[in-house]
Amino acid sequence: MSGDDLRRAAIIDDQRSLKEFLLNKPNVCSVDEFGLSSLHYAVWNGHVNCVKMLVMNPNGVNREGNRTSCLDLQSCVGYTGKDIVCYSGCVIIILFIIFSSSFGSFGLSSICCS
């Protein structure tokens, strides 16, 4: 299982596979050649449940090796998942990301990803 598998599941809204992949504790902050993570793709495509699973997952490590939320990752042109959600227009995702950013995502993982 690789970051490519995570991104593919997020792109096509394959929630079953994504949940299965996340059980193996992958790096949810892995990015492709454009600097886009699974969260970027899930947000852009409006896949609410994929966004929830990714944001609530505490297993992200950035390029510097620091533990982080995938909410904070920037693409090659500087966009975060928070930026992309504004373009997607999906109100549910917008509210979820605002809530997660304000109150922290790691503490809610047992609620949203069980």
pLDDT average, residue stretch 80-105: 67
Query: Could you tell me the two tokens for 7?
Result: 């991104």
Q: Give residue-wise pLDDT tens across range 37-91.
A: 999 999 888 898 998 888 888 777 877 888 877 777 888 888 887 777 766 666 6
Q: What's the rounded Cα separation, in Å, for the pair 37 and 26?
A: 12
DSSP state letter for 82: H
CA distance 41 to 9: 9
Q: Three-state SS across 40-76?
A: HHHHHCCCHHHHHHHHCCCCCECCCCCECCHHHCCCC
Residues pairing with 61 in the sheet: 67
pLDDT tens profile 24-34: 888 888 999 99
What homologous superfamily is domain 3-112 in, according to CATH? Ankyrin repeat-containing domain (1.25.40.20)
Per-residue pLDDT tens digits for 6-15 = 999 999 999 9
Q: What is the pLDDT of residue 61?
A: 81
pLDDT for position 105? 46
